[in-house]
Chains A and B, each alone.
Chain A
Amino acid sequence: MKKVKKNRGIEELKSSYGRMFVLPWFIGVILFFLVPFIETVIFSFSSIKINVGEISTTFVGLENYDYILNQDPNYTKYLSGAMTTFLYSLPIIIFLSLFLALLLNQKFAGRLLFRAIYFAPVIIATGEVIKLLFGLDASSGATMGVSESLTSNMIDANDITSLLGLSGEIGEFFTRTIGRIFDLVWNCGIQIVLFIAGLQSVPRHLYEVSKVEGATKWEEFWFITFPMLGRVTLLVSMFTMIELIVAERGNKIVSNALTSMNSGIYDRTSAELFFYFMVSCLFIGVFIFLYNRFLLKRWE
């Protein structure tokens, strides 16, 4: 009896220490995240008037949502665009970075150099830099997406298509497709690094056993590497989804929000962002549910 009691005391002490560690973060999140977040949600149901240093809100119900969904010609277009990008980018980024990580994980001359280079887009190809380079910054009205304009500088697909005698539209299509592929490659930096870390943590003896059993490289990948990467893949997916949703680059909703915030339209922009957030959460929720249900369960 006595022992149990003592244990409970230790447990309580430990949990109070746990709270102590988390407390500063908790205060910070309340002050700098939760309160502003709730205010934004309130904004989205209100009409806002700005006086000097004060924001006065009047409750208008779903009016803002009605506006953005039924009257604004662009919002639904941007939203579906963002979600389509999200849906096709996610698998491509995951497979591309897994593929590159597998190549970079092998032993060959210069692999450290390549690993270093492949992380570089995280530094080089940042939103503001690319916007400035291709005249997409604050002062000009952007017509092309970031990736397309960069690619059209890199490879002139129109030259190739006119050489082959195809129409200009096809050239444009090529530029756009290649542009997206390149943009996806630039998005792989962190993912490759995470996958390499995951590959390194697969126990060596599994491969030794499979070699003894005479498995081919292909079987080795499907029956050892791929299942062992289950958790990493989930982490990489999370990372990718967050990047795709939060990043300003290639996402018209987020990048336009800053502009309209600057011009003082807080109520509708709040509604736009909150609705976008809810939709993204739905997508992520469905993804994680399916992933756990069909992939992780089967492997574990």
Chain B
Amino acid sequence: MINIKEKLTEQNLLKYKSYGKKGADILFALFRYMILLTVGYIVLYPLLSMIVTSIQSLDSMRESIRMWIPTEFAIKDNYTLAIDVMKYGKSLGVTLLYMMVPAVLQIATCAIAAYGFARFDFKGKGILTALLFITILVPDIMIVIPRMVSYTRLDFLGILGLLDKLTGIDLRPNIINTVWAMYLPALFGAGVRSGILIYIYIQFFKGLPKELEEAAWVDGANPLRAFISIAIPSSGVVILTVAVFSLIWHWNEIVNSSMFLSGKMPLSVQIKYFSKNMSAILTDHGNRDYNSVAIKNSACILFIAPMLVFYMIVQRWFIESIDRVGITG
């Protein structure tokens, strides 16, 4: 074994010593950076453009030659107006309470379902797996109206409806514009794009060694206990991955939130109706000198900023850990 390794390094050294190889390496490195920088520019362009535009005044924008260098700043004007239009503080609170909490709930509930799929065999598993794939493939918009109708009179498995028919007492609650419109599906692992999250978990749990948990079962721990104290602690990596996806998707969620939370207006819905709200407020101010393009850009920055900060904090572990997730089978 050692011999082979020594030979390998010798060979490598010989290869790398030759000048031609070195030249090619440098050329390749240049080529690599060129491509990566070009693509990096494309990738970051929306963000850079948003930042630069959002801090400029109207006059500064008109000097289109110096696109990246603002001549006159209007940071305060732009951002205060954007905050006003979006009712930022309130909407942020709504997003946190109505969207981020279910996102976190989903991280847990999807793990439970996926563990059942990955670790156990039971009758009807094939059909359930097929069902899982169908949930992944159906766009939310397709089922949003029937859900809307059922949410206005939430009927748990027909029991309350039966009660209504028998006694005339209608106990069916209307959960539109309440937290439950988002919490209930998430609690049952059927929230925003939960199918994909479950799928990621399944792939990971399948790759996890079974022996430890089986030993725990033999020692008398029930599978739930084995799941919580053995499988979960060794799944930090995949939980982080799922958390990033879940939080980002919930943050940007628009179909469900614009329907079920129309009276609450989380940030994503505020962004959707921003132009309309902005023109109303600008007319109120009666001032035509505002830079509406810059205000829109400020709003976008304000919208993506929390997620961007979140991503910057976790990206070190996220990017490193994705190497080890093993979701790739």
A interface residues, Cβ below 8 angstroms from B: 11, 14-22, 24-29, 31-37, 39-40, 43, 53, 55, 100, 103-104, 106, 108, 112, 114-133, 135, 137-140, 150, 153-154, 182, 185-186, 193-194, 196-198, 200-201, 208, 211-212, 231-232, 235, 239, 242, 245-246, 248, 254, 257-258, 261, 266, 270, 273-274, 277, 280-281, 284
A residues in contact with B324, CB < 8 Å: 197, 200
Which of B138, B189, B275, B328 touches A277 (beta carbons < 8 Å)? Answer: B138
Total chain B interface residues with beta-carbon distance under 8 A:
104
CA distance A114 to B319 in the complex (A): 10
Which of B36, B113, B156 touches A22 (beta carbons < 8 Å)? Answer: B113
CA distance A138 to B121 in the complex (A): 48
Given A193-B322, A281-B137, residue A129 in contact with residue B116 (CB < 8 A): no
A residues in contact with B145, CB < 8 Å: 36, 40, 43, 261, 266, 270
B residues in contact with A120, CB < 8 Å: 43-44, 47, 308, 311
Q: How far is the CB of A5 from chain B (nearest CB, A)?
A: 18
A18–B121 CB distance below 8 A: yes
B residues in contact with A21, CB < 8 Å: 112-113, 115-117, 119-120, 223, 227
> What would 19 A/B residue contacts be, using CB atoms closer than 8 Å?
A17-B223, A21-B119, A25-B113, A28-B185, A40-B146, A114-B36, A116-B315, A119-B318, A120-B44, A124-B47, A126-B304, A132-B275, A137-B272, A197-B327, A208-B8, A211-B11, A261-B141, A277-B142, A280-B137
A residues in contact with B271, CB < 8 Å: 128-129, 132, 137
Q: How far is the CB of B9 from chain A (nearest CB, A)?
A: 11
**Chain A, residue nearest B151 (CB):** A32
Interface residues of B in 121-176 (CB under 8 A from A): 121-123, 125, 128, 131-132, 134-147, 149-150, 152-153, 156-157
Q: How far is the CB of A35 from chain B (nearest CB, A)?
A: 7
Q: How far is the CB of A135 from chain B (nearest CB, A)?
A: 7
B42–A185 CB distance below 8 A: yes
B43–A117 CB distance below 8 A: yes
Question: B89-108: contact bitstring with A at CB < 8 Å (1 yes, 0 no)?
Answer: 00000000000000000000
A residues in contact with B143, CB < 8 Å: 33, 36-37, 39-40
B39–A100 CB distance below 8 A: yes
Residue B274 lies at the interface, judged by CB distance under 8 Å to chain A: yes
A133–B300 CB distance below 8 A: yes
Residue B297 lies at the interface, judged by CB distance under 8 Å to chain A: yes
A residues in contact with B268, CB < 8 Å: 128
B residues in contact with A33, CB < 8 Å: 135, 138, 143, 190
Residue B255 lies at the interface, judged by CB distance under 8 Å to chain A: yes
Q: How far is the CB of B171 from chain A (nearest CB, A)?
A: 16
Given A128-B268, A129-B300, residue A242 in contact with residue B137 (CB < 8 A): yes
CA distance A18 to B187 in the complex (A): 18
B interface SS class: helix
CA distance A24 to B253 in the complex (A): 23
Known: A21-B227, A258-B255. 9 other contacts (CB 8 A): A15-B123, A53-B152, A117-B44, A121-B46, A123-B248, A126-B252, A197-B327, A245-B139, A258-B141
A119–B142 CB distance below 8 A: no
CA distance A185 to B122 in the complex (A): 42
A residues in contact with B43, CB < 8 Å: 117-118, 120-121, 185-186
B47–A25 CB distance below 8 A: no
B142–A40 CB distance below 8 A: yes
B137–A25 CB distance below 8 A: no
How many Cβ-Cβ contacts under 8 Å join chain A to chain B?
284
CA distance A201 to B146 in the complex (A): 43
Which of B132, B189, B254 touches A127 (beta carbons < 8 Å)? Answer: B254
A201–B113 CB distance below 8 A: no
B residues in contact with A128, CB < 8 Å: 252, 254, 268, 271-272, 303
A106–B190 CB distance below 8 A: no
CA distance A257 to B45 in the complex (A): 30
CA distance A182 to B46 in the complex (A): 11
**Chain A, residue nearest B222 (CB):** A17
A residues in contact with B320, CB < 8 Å: 112
**Chain A, residue nearest B323 (CB):** A200
Given A124-B47, A138-B272, A197-B327, residue A132 in contact with residue B185 (CB < 8 A): no
**Chain B, residue nearest A200 (CB):** B323
**Chain A, residue nearest B193 (CB):** A246
B274–A137 CB distance below 8 A: yes
CA distance A186 to B39 in the complex (A): 10
B131–A18 CB distance below 8 A: no
B residues in contact with A35, CB < 8 Å: 146, 150
B residues in contact with A232, CB < 8 Å: 328-329
The 5 closest A-B pairs by CB, nearest first: A28-B188, A18-B120, A21-B116, A28-B190, A25-B113
Residue B273 lies at the interface, judged by CB distance under 8 Å to chain A: yes
